A = this chain, B = another copy of it.
Amino acid sequence: MADAALPPRVTVFCEDAKQPQQDAYERVYPGGIGRAIGEALTAQGFVVRNAYSSQPDNGLSAAVLEETDVLIYWSHKAWRDVSEATIQRSYERILGGMGFIALHSTLVAPLFLRLLGTTAAMRWRNIGEKERVWVIDRSHPIAAGLPPYIELQDEEMYSEDFDIPAPDELVFISWFEGGEVFRSGCCWRRGRGKVFYFRPGHETAPTYHDPLVQRVLYNAVLWAAPQSSVLPVRRNERAPTAPEAEVAGRCSA
């Protein structure tokens, strides 16, 4: 009833600098992670666009953002390739209502940190180990259709304590074979925009090919999509004068 008939328009941003293990990355993701995610979401019925850090305006021009309902973002070591202007432009669009889904190592990206207000610092270990992403809120829309946990065989490990503001909604907690835990699915509201952080997705693990991970992304896009138009970033404004008169009227009585 309330939701629009049109599917959300998704832009998938992916840094396209050379990854530290570029060969292994290409074997798992020919064309990169952005392409893999984009294809999965297109198959699910969304209108999808890809954006890359090497493009003009990092692929996220004002025109592109205006046609974006939800921005999915995968960043890693090349976060410095994204300009301050792109960061601020995207940040303001999110505050205005555009959804934002930050994946894995995007926790180092200034855009994500600007939204959070903290460092998002954690501990990590990259030896390829088993991860179980447990659903802790079975009724959350982002967990729709999922089993009790998603098991990934060969992931990079991130560990608590994770320096984030307490999430407004906590959906997933990861278990790692080596003995650690991590808040892997975190929701925050910022301005009129919804922000979701999803942990898995190391560049040499086939995580984004996993149908359950793709279901998470599908759910997250629907959750993060704005309910109505995205608005310009807010500024302080003077309150209407009518109540002033009312006050004055009272006081003079």
* Residues of A bordering B, CB below 8 Å: 1-3, 7, 45, 95, 97, 108, 114-119, 121-125, 127, 129, 132, 134-139, 141, 144, 148, 157, 159-163, 165-166, 168-170, 173-181, 183, 188-194, 219, 222, 226-228, 233-239, 243-244, 246-248, 250, 253
Cα of A21 to Cα of B31 in the assembled complex, Å = 59
Which 8 pairs show the lowest CB-CB distances between chains A and B?
Answer: A253-B253, A121-B234, A178-B243, A139-B192, A125-B239, A123-B239, A117-B117, A178-B247
B144 touches A160 (CB 8 A): no
Q: Nearest chain B CB to A133's CB is how many angstroms away?
A: 10
Q: How many copies does the complex hold?
A: 4
Cα of A174 to Cα of B45 in the assembled complex, Å = 38
Q: Nearest chain B CB to A65's CB is how many angstroms away?
A: 17
Cα of A70 to Cα of B142 in the assembled complex, Å = 21
In the complex, chain B residues whose CB is within 8 Å of the CB of A148: 160-161
